[in-house]
Amino acid sequence: MYPLMDVPELHARLVENRRTVLLDVRWALGDPDGYRHYLQGHLPGAVFVDLATELAAPASPARGRHPLPSAADFQASARRWGINDGDLVVAYDDSSNMAAARVWWMLRNAGLSDVYLLDGGLAAWRAAGFDVEAGSVVPGAGSVTLADGKMPVLDAAAAAGWAGSGVLLDARAGERYRGEVEPIDPRAGHIPGAVSAPTAGNLDSSGQFLPPDELRRRFEALGISDGVPVAVYCGSGVTAAHEVAALELAGFRAALYPGSFSEWSNNPGLPVATGPGPGGSGGLPAGNPDTGKGSVAL
C-alpha cells in the first residue's frame, strides 16, 4: 500500500469536504512543547496526538523507552481522535514525518488501510501557501474498532539472529550506530550484524521522501533485494517506522523491532558492537551510503 499523500491531494480533499481525519503528531526529542506548537498553528481540523502518552506505554528497561501501548488503550486513543471505521486518516508532524510515522505504522498494524503520511509534513503545507489554524480541535468521539498484529514485528531474540538470513537496518544516526556517542541509552553501539541506514537518507533537501526508485537503489546498496527478509530498529521504535514506510515505497515489506536499541542495550546479556561495520570490526558493506551523521532516531 502506498504510504504517502501529497499536499495538493490533501488540500483538494479538504476543499471538497471529503471525510478526512488529520492527526498532528508534533513531537521531537528534546522538545517537550509539541502541544504548544500545535496550538500556535496546525492544519485546519487536525487533532493533536501525544506521542509520549497515546503512542507509547510507560518506559521500562525491559521494553524500552517507547513501548507499544495495549491494543485497548490504542483503540481508546483512536476513538478520541474521532476515527470511525472506514475513515481515511492523514498524519503529519513538523520533522519530516519522523514522529508521525509512528501513528501511521500503529494504525496500519491495527488494520486500517486508508492511512497516510503527508509527504513533507507541515513544512510542505506551509510552503504551498495554505493556511493553518490556531487553537485546539476536539472532535466527536469515534467508533473505530481496531485489530492488532497486521504489520510484521520482531523481538530481541529474533533481532539477535536476523542478520544470519536477512538484513537488519539500524535507522539511527551514524555516530550512534558506530558507538561514538550515546545520549540516551545505557550502552553505545549497535546490534551485532545490523547495517547502518540513518532515516535522514530517506529524504530530499525539502524533507520529503525520495522517489521510490531512488529509495530502492539506496536499500539495494545496503544488501536488500526481493525475497531477502528485512527488519528495522532505531532508538525506541519511533523513527524505525519512518524507515518501514520508506522501504514500502521502495517495494520492500519490513518488520519493525518495537523495543529497538533502548530495550536491547538495557539487557546486559545481549552483546553490543561498535565501529563502522555490522560486526563492529570491519568496514562498511559495499555500497553503504552511511557517511556519518543523520537525524537523531528515537
Question: Catalytic residue numbers?
Answer: 234
Contact 275, 135 (CB under 8 A): no
Reported residue count of the chain is 298
CA angle 33, 37, 38 (to 5 degrees): 115
> Distance (Å, rounded) from C-alpha 196 to C-alpha 213?
20
CB under 8 Å to 227, separation ≥6 — which residues? Answer: none
What would the grid cell of residue 152 be? 510484521
Residue 145 half-sphere exposure, CB side, CA atoms within 13 Å? 0
Residue 294 DSSP SS3? coil
Of the candidates 130, 98, 107, the one whose C-alpha atom is nearest the C-alpha of residue 7 is 130
